[in-house]
Structure 1
């Protein structure tokens, strides 16, 4: 059995540093509220596996629901912190699992902590006399209701010395700008999540054969994730055999894999909240047909060209231009498009078959936070950014091209970390060259 990839040791200083950087961006005499996620009912009295709110995770690392982080910045710039969490409860812990409780939480997460039974009073105390309230309004209804009632109380009783904040800021764009640039701890987790996920894709290639079902390949991948400590996928796994690959977010995964078809797998494991996002396309029976290989190579050429453009100073404008050129050139050479190359590129004719964007930020969310444009201009890549590059071509039945291309779907996706002199491909251990895929599936690697 392969050894389990272990996450880095929890470092409270990392989270304290993130909170400090966030508070440095807020005005004086402000208060910040950040809620944990809540448990979501799956059926009657059972819940989905709990997944912590990404912003709350980023700032605290605290893994439980029903928690609130209160950060205050005084008029003189002094910062105070408080975590409210569930109290210890012997009976609840027998039924539902252990809780940290305030005392243990304070020790392990280096945050002053009290029971969330004091939630109403602590929020009122924190908001009173502050000028600015910062939180993600509309994200969690319980917090919205609490804030609304607290503001009403502060506004209605000035004789008690109450004064409500006069300004309100949305937390999301502020913290998104911080999360866009990954720190060393985040990069370490992403590298491990990507390694686990790349190995899972290799396992799927090794075990795939005609007559299997799409959900069986999904099971192989998710089993590898879980066995390596990434117990949940970062998103619903896509396993599309044949024309099912033309459905971009296909997750039924309930069709039988046919000899002679391609299968498209888009899957990434999540480790400590950080997810990989990899897509590989390969022949069910281990050998590309001439048509499959030709279309696949067009996408691979586009992916290599787009990846090469990921470096500081460039932007998504450069990566998209590189991909569009290669896709258009390749489709023209195959006869799937007709016309003059320059004109086809200008009108983006390849978008008929390349029907999605080229990539997205990656991190605590698979489509991670962070603005793609600044002042309506594509922002340049900078070290610390992590993004996907995922060109694809999809030719459903009935398309305006030769029938031999119908039903083919190819997408190739990797996760790239921008570094000072270019980029680092975090997922390149999952083979994508035609010869490498065929060798792996033949048991030669």
Structure 2
């Protein structure tokens, strides 16, 4: 993380979560594990998103325990973390240790993580319920079972174990779905860095470069501006590779006359960006490429217009599909003689061979962020209404594989245009708009070679 941490937002989130639990209930949330890459080498460590959302604490081997207020007893936040160890710090870097972490991150109590099992037998005594990620892992379920067994063993003294278990992500995911001002600022920074990286990659691209060379330009720009990680493995897909949605081999040479689809975002202080741009390898769109590209761009504009607080999330996809389907009919990708109207073609899902994915997803600490897309509180589970503070991507596309009846001039063309947006009171705010996407903008920029 960059700079000093303002802990006030983390303290407020913990208080808000505790207030949603039963009086005296206990919530338990562990951070992510360190994972071996091979031999004794580990992958770069990245905290669990929900743990960090509540704590701001990025060290491994850490567990947060929240106890909701009950009667005269106030709510408590307890951190379990690694002990201070000067010798290990020589090898692995700084550790706060429990006491320094308690002060720095605003916890009420902090203990060595090795004391977790012993302490939980006390913390859970007479608690009415425990909240944790049910079924998240067999190890966690077993550990919670051990705590409950230890509490029940004290039953002869009148102490009761929690009688109810709840799935913690059910309420935590809802909290994370609405981004506060601080989160929106971090997401805007992540989007700005990624937008600059896409512009740099456009200027670099020319016939003969390899996809991985373009990827290197992106990664260089991410890190140069302070992003800690790519938000996901970048997709750099030239030619027909762009018709493979999750292509990431990134090892082909880019050829004259092709497009290259680049889907790449970065992570800045725990928050992701996710941007896709598609541009011509030689800096100029051909007529067929431009026709499809302008269609995808129009679909994205229609999707933006559907982002209004109170409207269903599904309206975003519906708006894009309508524009794309109408354009596919006009361009001959869909047989006009077969359908009497755009509505008929949509009802028959005639667009699916060319547009088979959704028009976006939630965005935040995770690139595919948490929170249901449907209102699970209603029997028919309708698409949930958009609310100010939600963050999502808008990413229509078109992918044309060789097929009978499909005009050959479009074969092998894959296009996607993706931006990051925040829902605001009067529509949406585009975070990633600095990444060029208008045909004239792209061609002009690519005329300025690196």
- Rate the CA distance shift 1:362–1:211 in 2: closer, same or farther, 3 A: same
- Choose the corresponding residue for 2:168, options 166, 171, 193: 171
1:114 maps to which residue? 111
Mapping for residues 195-214 of structure 1, pairs under 5 Å: 195-214=192-211
1:347 maps to which residue? 348
1:373 maps to which residue? 374
- Choose the corresponding residue for 2:253, options 249, 256, 259: 256
2:432 maps to which residue? 427
Quote how far apart the aligned CAs of 1:137 are.
2.5
Query: Are positions 1:49 and 2:54 aligned together?
Result: no
**Contact 2:82/2:95 (CA < 8 Å) preserved in 1?**
yes
Quote how far apart the aligned CAs of 1:7 are.
5.3
Whole-angstrom CA distance in 2 between matches of 1:187 and 1:167: 36
Quote how far apart the aligned CAs of 1:81 are.
1.2
Could you say what secondary structure the match of 2:352 adopts? helix
Mapping for residues 171-190 of structure 1, pairs under 5 Å: 171-190=168-187
Could you say what secondary structure the match of 1:87 adopts? coil
Whole-angstrom CA distance in 1 between matches of 2:187 and 2:4: 15
Farther off after superposition, 49-58 or 113-122: 113-122
Whole-angstrom CA distance in 1 between matches of 2:3 and 2:363: 19
Whole-angstrom CA distance in 2 between matches of 1:367 and 1:65: 23
Could you say what secondary structure the match of 2:351 adopts? helix
1:402 maps to which residue? 407
- Choose the corresponding residue for 1:100, options 81, 96, 103: 96
Could you say what secondary structure the match of 1:373 adopts? coil
Could you say what secondary structure the match of 2:53 adopts? helix
1:3 maps to which residue? none
**Contact 1:386/1:417 (CA < 8 Å) preserved in 2?**
yes
- Choose the corresponding residue for 1:191, options 188, 191, 196: 188
Gaps of 5+ in 1: 1-5
Mapping for residues 7-406 of structure 1, pairs under 5 Å: 9-76=4-71, 78-111=74-107, 112-339=109-336, 340=340, 341-374=342-375, 375=378, 376-398=381-403, 400-406=405-411
Task: Number of aligned residue pairs: give it.
Answer: 440
Could you say what secondary structure the match of 1:39 adopts? coil
Could you say what secondary structure the match of 1:223 adopts? helix
Could you say what secondary structure the match of 1:350 adopts? coil
2:417 maps to which residue? 412
Quote how far apart the aligned CAs of 1:149 are.
1.1
Whole-angstrom CA distance in 2 between matches of 1:213 and 1:160: 71
Farther off after superposition, 43-52 or 113-122: 113-122
**Contact 1:7/1:189 (CA < 8 Å) preserved in 2?**
no
Whole-angstrom CA distance in 2 between matches of 1:247 and 1:299: 17
Gaps of 5+ in 2: none
**Contact 1:314/1:380 (CA < 8 Å) preserved in 2?**
yes
**Contact 2:265/2:273 (CA < 8 Å) preserved in 1?**
yes
Whole-angstrom CA distance in 1 between matches of 2:14 and 2:247: 38
Whole-angstrom CA distance in 1 between matches of 2:425 and 2:399: 35
Could you say what secondary structure the match of 2:428 adopts? strand
**Contact 2:10/2:56 (CA < 8 Å) preserved in 1?**
yes
Quote how far apart the aligned CAs of 1:109 are.
0.8
Find runs of 4+ consecutive structure 1 residues off by over 6 angstroms: none
Which digits, 9 at most, give the CA deviation of each residue in 1:256-310, with x for residues without a partner?
Answer: 1111111001110001110000000001111111110001111110001101111
Which digits, 9 at most, give the CA deviation of each residue in 1:368-406, with x for residues without a partner?
Answer: 011111121111111100011101111112354011111
Whole-angstrom CA distance in 2 between matches of 1:360 and 1:439: 31
Whole-angstrom CA distance in 2 between matches of 1:53 and 1:344: 43
Could you say what secondary structure the match of 1:438 adopts? helix
Whole-angstrom CA distance in 2 between matches of 1:328 and 1:117: 59
- Rate the CA distance shift 1:399–1:361 in 2: closer, same or farther, 3 A: farther
- Rate the CA distance shift 1:432–1:73 in 2: closer, same or farther, 3 A: same
CA RMSD of aligned residues (A): 1.6
Farther off after superposition, 412-421 or 307-316: 307-316
Quote how far apart the aligned CAs of 1:173 are.
1.4
Which digits, 9 at most, give the CA deviation of each residue in 1:132-178, with x for residues without a partner?
Answer: 00011233554333212111222244124442110000011100110
Farther off after superposition, 152-161 or 83-92: 152-161
Could you say what secondary structure the match of 1:378 adopts? coil
**Contact 2:122/2:151 (CA < 8 Å) preserved in 1?**
no
Quote how far apart the aligned CAs of 1:329 are.
1.1
